Amino acid sequence: MTTIHPLELENKEFEGENSAYLIDGGDETMLVDTGVSTPDVRVQLERELASNGCEPRDLDRILLTHWHQDHAGLAGELQAESGATVHVHEADAPMVRRNAGVESLLREKERARYESWGVPAGKDAELFEFLDSAAGKEERPPTDLVEFSDGDRFSVGDYTLRVVHTPGHTAGLSCFAFEGDTGPEAFVGDTILPVYTPNVGGADPRVDRPLERYLSSLDVLRELDLVRAWPGHRRPIGTPDERIRTIEHHHRERTERVVDVLETHGPADAWTVSAHLFGELHAIHILHGPGEAFAHLDHLDRHGVVEREDGEYALVEAPASLDDLF
Ligand SMILES: [Zn+2]
Ligand SMILES: [Zn+2]
């Protein structure tokens, strides 16, 4: 009998409480995601494992849905203690290894993006200060990381988990699909979440055409016909199809609002559009707000609805309908 145990972990800095998952396959024990690398969360994780009769050293395999600190943060520590193999999608592997070259390349990309979004100098300093002080900076990357790609399989007990690559939120974000007792299920990381809409555009500066990629990933997820999704934050989603529809609807509405902003206020950069949509932003939202605005402006740009000139987006013609974009 193979069982899934959700492990609830606190997370004050990012999208709210994390859910990691212990899969007890009898002879084998797998962990999906790890929580953020802080002493508190580490203690919590041990407590959650213990309440399911498990210790860190029992772990055989750790699968990561994506590179974000609140999902991959404790992977290195847990590996050091258990000797577990740690696996992540090939596109996110460099971010989990976090060697110096990758860190500075990421910062460069981030700076270039903020500049192109029109983020004012003071705000960009505030954001870098937040990122530098955010949890997980002390984390220890796994010394041995195994890369996977779409379609790869992992078995644990009665389950065979299949990697389904769903980029958008990050370049390597992946779901792990398996046949549950009543139908197909999947661990979905931040591909769909029960409360928030996962950030697209600001969460991984390496992703080109972020909204388009994310929307295709939702199509891929829909085709799995899931009866249940196990997200990277909060509780399981019992009607994944409905949640996918809600998120798509949300993006369509947001695109409509972006068009409205440009119609009312004239040409604007991503930062200005974000201010109209979200007001004043702090901490991680300085990244997520204009990132989200950028993702929608970029999507409109690629469909010829807006044109970008000197960093500002101008409406070419307000479309009668956004059907072609969604
Ligand atoms: Zn994430
Ligand atoms: Zn997350």
pLDDT in tens, 265-288: 999 999 999 999 999 988 888 889
The end-to-end CA distance of the chain, in Å, is 42
3-class secondary-structure state, position 281: coil
Residue 307's nearest CA partner among 249, 253, 268, 277 is 268
**Span 62-76, average pLDDT:** 95
Distance (Å) from CA 309 to ligand 2 centroid? 34
Same domain, 33 and 157: yes
The CA distance from 32 to 53, in Å, is: 17
Whether residue 105 lies inside any domain: the answer is no
**Claim to verify: residue 160 and residue 277 sit in the same structural domain:** no
Residues 164, 217 within the same domain: yes
66 Cα–ligand 1 center, Å: 7
Residue 268 lies in a domain: yes
Confidence at 237, pLDDT banded by 50, 70, 90: very high
Q: Does residue 107 lie within any of the structural domains?
A: no
Distance 65 CA to ligand 2 centre (A): 9
For the chain, the residue count is 326
Cα(188) to centroid(ligand 1), Å: 11
pLDDT > 90 in the chain, percent: 76
Q: Number of structural domains, the chain? A: 2
Distance CA 146, CA 143 (A): 10
Percent of the chain with pLDDT over 70: 98
CA pseudo-torsion sign 271, 277, 283, 288:
negative
| Spacing, Cα 68 to ligand 1 middle (Å) | 5
Same domain, 86 and 216: yes
pLDDT over 60 (residue 141): yes
Q: How far apart are CA 120 and CA 301, in angstroms?
A: 23
CA distances from 1 to 65, 157, 182, 258, 326 (A): 24, 7, 15, 50, 42
Contact 314, 304 (CB under 8 A): no
Q: Inform me whether the pLDDT recorded for 185 exceeds 60.
A: yes
Q: In terms of domains, do 239 and 276 share one?
A: no
14 C-alpha vs ligand 1 centroid, how far in Å?
Answer: 8
How much of the chain is in helix, strand and coil states, percent to nearest 5? 40, 20, 40
What ligand is nearest to the CA atom of residue 169? 1
Closest CA to 64 of 82, 45, 25, 91: 91
Range of the domain at 20: 3-99+135-244
In the structure, what pLDDT confidence band is assigned to residue 101 with cuts at 50, 70 and 90? Answer: confident
* Contacts of 51 by beta carbon, 8 Å cutoff, 6+ apart: none
Residue 212 Cα to ligand 2 midpoint, Å, equals: 20
Query: What's the CA-to-centroid distance between 14 and ligand 2, angstroms?
Result: 7
CA-closest candidate to residue 18, choices 159, 166, 155, 196: 196
Ligand in nearest proximity to the CA of 17: 2
Question: How high is the pLDDT of residue 103?
Answer: 78
Matching residue, tokens 């119609």: 263
pLDDT-derived band at 102, boundaries 50, 70, 90: confident
Structure-block tokens of residue 152: 């790869």
Closest residue by Cα to residue 4 from 153, 161, 222, 149? 161
User: Is residue 47 one of the residues assigned to a domain?
Assistant: yes
Spacing, Cα 191 to ligand 2 middle (Å): 9
Contact 32, 18 (CB under 8 A): no
- Distance (Å) from CA 267 to ligand 1 centroid: 31
